[in-house]
Amino acid sequence: MAEKLNVGVIGGGYAGMAAAAELASRNIPVTVFESAQQLGGRARGVYYNDTRLDNGQHLLLGCYRETLRMIELVGGDIDQDFLRLPLQLDLHDQFSLRAPRLPAPLHLLIALLSAQGLTWSERIKAASFMLTLRNANFRLDQLPLPQAGEGRGEGLSDITVSALLAQHKQDADLTFKLWEPLCIAALNTPIQKASAHVLLNVLRDALNQSRADSDMLLPRIDFTALFPQRAASFVERRGGKVHTSCGVEAIRSLEDEFEIITTPSAVRPEPVEGHSSVHVSTGSTRTEDVSRSYRFSHVICAAPPVVAAKLLRPIAGLANTVAQIDALEHQPIYTLYLQYPAHVTLPHPMIGLHRRISQWLFDKGQIAGQHGLLAAVISAEGIHQELSQDELAQKVIAELRDEFGIAEQPQWFKVIAEKRATFCCSPNLQRPAQQTALPRLLLAGDYTAGDYPATLEGAVMSGVRCADLIRAQSE
Ligand SMILES: Cc1cc2nc3c(=O)[nH]c(=O)nc-3n(C[C@H](O)[C@H](O)[C@H](O)COP(=O)(O)OP(=O)(O)OC[C@H]3O[C@@H](n4cnc5c(N)ncnc54)[C@H](O)[C@@H]3O)c2cc1C
């Protein structure tokens, strides 16, 4: 295809900005359209009560290679941007697993065999399950076949995590303390619904190769600043454009190009710099310059699944892709931020609670110097969804008092409930490919086909793959 490439990217989340930065790094002209005032999508910085928060507390793993590579490509510094902790899972007063500084997978085996809060028999069961997984290259189809009636049916390549755990005799206490928190943190899906295949992909990448892969990386800056904002500057320095407050209403497939129509509300005045929004420097792409129709040789749709389905539905030839997107179910994540007096701290930067409403607690003072600011994260569906925000906050405040003796009331709290935080990562899920049936129309996003569950890494990998596909078409 000896033609001039010109790519439109719909959505300025991690997937869209990864695609844009990757294209810009190859000197391919690119324009990003983001409907919100700021970039980042589900991983964006927000301000509340003059305090910098995220749309939800996030965590990266050392094995998120593409995300870390992209952050560095656009000017980030991994050592400065993150607090890096060696793998440690602490459920306060109930369970503690710490990986010693030994090469993988020895670090994990020692961690499992010395885990506090498990009986000897549970430790041995966990360690031998891990060895079995390793011998099977973390592939379900290479695991020893279960006894008849125990699960993996004829012709099915995947099972639920709870079925896998039952097959490998991981008893209830071990499941509650180790596997369930791990699965919910990784897949944001309850073990009874979660895909064993995808969990094993994450375990393979995080636990099996280098010890640093299992490190936990907690950002010291907000998620818009961490990557999307830097990516926008990177794109603009290479002649690309990034339009914020500029939602796409429709995509039209023309003979050998695509037309993107932006919404009338897209042409808004520049947001005022300040605490209410994280504003991207737009250079030549000020919003008053935005017209309502654009033409591109290629389009990458990196909007969230519900919006992507709406934009693709009218386009001929995409019925299968749209049906796959429509079939996705979603799972929530709630983050409750609580501002306590500055002296209030937790025993660790990140600590879990066993059989409580709060699953993981983060001490933003230890992570980012925001003293007294705690974040409680509640992933996946559960009874917490039946509570009002005030009731939820009171329960978390009571848990913090009971578990850590925090007697003070917070000065303020803020519940951020993301009802469609991720897709529900169930077995045998058919996820849409990045390449649609129309060669010049591509899909990026954490929900598109890939090894990973809905994560930043899955989103970034999909964006980079779209850029690769476009480059391959042009060669
Ligand atoms: C609370 C929470 C906690 C999470 N924790 C973690 C974690 O710890 N680790 C991890 O790896 N992942 C985590 N995730 C998942 C991670 O945030 C997502 O996988 C990732 O951000 C998805 O990126 P994306 O670019 O695919 O989609 P999105 O972030 O949804 O980006 C899509 C973008 O498209 C824009 N858009 C929508 N409609 C239009 C339109 N019509 N025109 C133009 N633009 C449009 C949106 O505004 C958005 O910016 C978490 C998610 C949530 C919500």
**Residue pLDDT, tens place only, 55-76:** 999 999 999 999 999 999 999 9
Q: With a cut of 90, say whether residue 278 has pLDDT above it.
A: no
Q: Which CATH class is domain 7-47+59-79+221-328+426-474?
A: alpha beta
Structure tokens belonging to residue 84: 């890096």
Phi, psi of 229 (to 5 degrees): -65, -40
Structure confidence at residue 285 (pLDDT): 45
Ligand 1 atom with the smallest distance to the CA of 333 is 1
Q: How far is CA 211 from the centre of its chain?
A: 21
Q: Answer yes or no: CATH 1.25.40.10 is held by domain 330-423.
A: no
This prediction's pTM: 0.93
Atom index in ligand 1 nearest the CA of residue 185 equals 8
Q: Which residue has better confidence, 373 or 210? A: 373
Ligand 1 mean position to 396 CA, how many Å? 26
Residues 6+ apart with CB under 8 A from 438: 253, 315, 317, 318
| 18 CA closest ligand 1 atom index | 25
How deeply is 232 buried, as exposed, middle or buried, from its count of CB atoms within 10 A (0-12, 13-18, 19+)?
Answer: buried
Q: How many A from CA of 194 to the centre of ligand 1?
A: 20
Residue 265 in contact with residue 243, Cβ under 8 Å? Answer: no
How much is the mean pLDDT over the chain? 91
Which atom of ligand 1 is found nearest the CA of 17? 25
324 touches 431 (CB < 8 A): yes
Q: Tell me how far apart the alpha carbons of residues 171 and 165 are, in angstroms, rounded to a whole number.
A: 8
Quote the CA–CA distance of 243 and 281 in Å, as a whole number: 10
Does ligand 1 have an atom closer than 6 angstroms to the CB of 466?
no
How far apart, in whole angstroms, are the C-alpha atoms of residue 459 and residue 469? 16
Does the beta carbon of 432 lie inside 6 Å of ligand 1? no
Q: What is the DSSP letter of 178?
A: I
Distance separating alpha carbons of residues 88 and 69, to the nearest angstrom: 24
pLDDT reading at 95 higher than 80 = yes
pLDDT given at position 265 = 54
Does residue 261 line the site of ligand 1, with CB under 6 A? no
Q: Which of 177, 178, 176, 146 is nearest to 163 (CA)?
A: 146
For a mutational test of ligand 1's pocket, the pick from 14, 42, 301, 416, i.e. the residue with the most ligand atoms closer than 8 A to its C-beta, is 42
**The pLDDT of residue 31:** 98
Residue ID of nearest Cα to ligand 1 atom 53: 421
pLDDT band of 379, cuts 50, 70, 90: very high
User: From the alpha carbon of 444, which atom of ligand 1 is closest?
Assistant: 26
Question: Residue ranges of the domains in the chain?
Answer: 7-47+59-79+221-328+426-474, 87-144+158-214, 330-423
Residue 152: pLDDT over 60:
no
Q: Are 55 and 43 in contact (CB under 8 A)?
A: yes
Ligand 1 pocket member 16 (CB < 6 A):
yes
Q: Is 10 in the pocket of ligand 1 (CB under 6 A)?
A: yes
Instruction: Give the closest residue (by CA) to ligand 1 atom 14.
Output: 455
Structure tokens at 48: 């509340």
Torsion on CA atoms 351, 354, 355, 357, rounded to nearest 10:
-10
The mean pLDDT of 416-440, rounded to a whole number, is 97
Q: What are the residues facing 97 on neighbouring strands? A: 89
DSSP state at residue 185 = H
5 ligand 1 Cβ < 6 A: no
pLDDT for the residue 377: 97
Report CA torsion sign: 304, 309, 315, 320: positive
Residue-wise pLDDT for 311-362, tens only, equals: 999 999 999 999 999 999 999 999 999 999 999 999 999 999 999 999 999 9
Percentage of residues of the chain with pLDDT beyond 70: 91
Reading the block at residue 207, the tokens are: 């636990």
**For residue 461, is pLDDT > 90?**
yes
CA distance 87 to 5: 44
pLDDT at residue 264 in the model: 58
CA 364 to ligand 1 center in whole angstroms:
22
